[in-house]
Amino acid sequence: MRKIGLIILALIFSTQIMYSQNDYAKQRVEAFKKVKLETDLSRLTANEQKMIPILIEISKIMDELFWKQNFGEKEKFLNGLKDEYEKQFAMINYGPWDQLNDEKPFIKGYGEKPAGANFYPVEMTKEDFEKIKDPLKMSPYSIIVKEGGDYKVVMYSKAYEKELKKAAELLKQAAELADDAGLKKYLLMRADALVTDNYQPSDFAWMEMKKNVVDFVVGPIENYTDQLFGNKNAFEAYVLVKDTEWSKKLEKFASLLPQLQRELPVEEKYKQEEAGADSDLNAYDALYYAGDCNSGSKTIAINLPNDEEVQLKSGSRRLQLKNVMKAKFDAIMAPITDLLITPEQRKYSKFNAFFENVMFHEVAHGLGIKNTITGAGTVRDALKEQYSGLEEGKADILGLYLVTKLYEMGELKDGELMDNYVTFLTGIFRSCRFGAASAHGKANMVRFYYFQEKGAFTRNPDGTYSVNFEKMKDAVISSSQQILKIQGDGDYAGAKSLIEKDGFIKEELKKDLDRVNSAGIPVDIVFEGQ
């Protein structure tokens, strides 16, 4: 009898747990606002219009590959889910872990997400990795598998051979439709890269494109998913159409990058590298996201390529995804402003300022220093798994420093600097809701608490926040100095200490974010039909 009672209690308990999990998934799905990605395709040539469906087909292949890298086999997993909300939320996260809530599992039977995702065997330790003799283990385009008790390195071109060959063939088909010679060259070289794992030539080709209206970012690009070593690149794709009108507004800023590099607020040795003269800034409407960039929160701007050698020789391209940015501002930023910013300063939260802050975040990635001054190699190698978090922090703060300088130089005139400062604070609240598991999340936390400590903003008794203009300006400079020095010195311990101290959500901020959630403000957007 006692045993039966225990069984009944266990069943009741398990049912409650299951209900709680399903309810959680439902709440999380409903926290994303559906947005349709669209633009005026009539401005494209007939060939360009024919090219778009091919690029989307390639993107879907990248999507499948990211599923494999982040989790494993997609179809078997999704078919095993009976609850519709669990399935929908799994699609948003590309697996059973909530990316915007510290990668917590939301489906019964799944534990903590492996730090190395699916790039490495789950049981592999850092010590095991160090023992692997094959130098290709460090390639961003390789995975580690276990065969016969031994760890083996497999390049992407072999691990995902079938899918990448198909994608390469489709890229060649798209190239045949390219009216722009630069786009044609890039598509053909990117096709070759997918099957050879040699991406640098196509990165240079992508940098050479200037006149193309259709753009396509595709391949294994960012390393955020690999939280074991921050080494392996994940597959993704963007199908983009240039907004020529907005892009013209941005042209002048590209020519200022060398001067902005020289005027960084640090000693000369920390800014000795030259910003690429060929760097450009452009605005785009996005038509399709796939893979890594579509996972969890939706990217609103791109700064590529990541290859340091390409950046030093050719600079970077910064692509502002205007239609996605505007969707997020209207659905999320505006209502957060009304809830958390003091009434007297709400007028300063503006889309143009949001656009500028995001744009110069991406610009800032290309400034500073790529190689340590201490002989420790590249900044990326010296800071190891701490690199991504600190680099995102640098971009956040240094971007705001650049905005400040451009106002002082008279290059920014549509508005005032206070717009950018208040919008920046509102943007922190938006981004903080993504959690602290990712590199961006850790950067959000570090900058929030640093600015709070410096008095750049204060929390009022009514639960709203006010920006102190002068203290914000000072904090921007001092924080920029701190991060640029850590990077230049290759100070791994300093980077780790900074992120461990403040790279998480503390209680008071959590309460304010709970208020945002309770108000029904979306966490992020999700794209219809994807």
User: CA gyration radius for the chain?
Assistant: 23
Rounded to an integer, the average pLDDT of 336-349 is 97
Does 8 score more than 50 pLDDT? no
Torsion angle in degrees (nearest 10) through CA of 204, 207, 213, 217: 70
pLDDT at 14 over 70: no
For the segment 83-89, the average pLDDT, to the nearest whole number, is 96
Sort strands 234-242 and 280-291 into parallel, antiparallel or unpaired: antiparallel
Ranking 6-15, 62-71, 470-479, 488-497 by mean pLDDT, the lowest is: 6-15
What local confidence, expressed as pLDDT, does residue 10 receive?
41
Convert the pLDDT of each residue in 461-487 to its tens digit.
999 999 999 999 999 999 999 999 999
Q: Measure the CA–CA gap between 529 and 77, rounded to whole angstroms.
A: 20
Element (H, E) at 457: strand 457-459
Half-sphere exposure at residue 367, Cβ-oriented, CA atoms within 13 angstroms? 31
Evaluate if residue 21 carries a pLDDT over 60: no
What does the pLDDT look like over 95-120, one tens digit per residue?
A: 999 998 889 999 999 999 999 999 99
Per the model's pLDDT, the better-predicted residue between 62 and 303 turns out to be: 62
For residues 346 and 338, is the Cβ–Cβ distance under 8 A?
Answer: yes
pLDDT tens digits, residue range 298-329? 999 898 999 989 988 888 888 999 999 999 99
Q: What is the reported pLDDT for 276? A: 53
Q: What is the pLDDT of residue 389?
A: 84
Q: What is the structure's pLDDT at 11?
A: 41
- In this predicted structure, the answer to whether residue 7 has a pLDDT above a threshold of 50 is no
Query: How do residues 154-207 score in pLDDT, each as one tens digit?
Result: 999 999 999 999 999 999 999 999 999 999 999 999 999 999 999 999 999 999
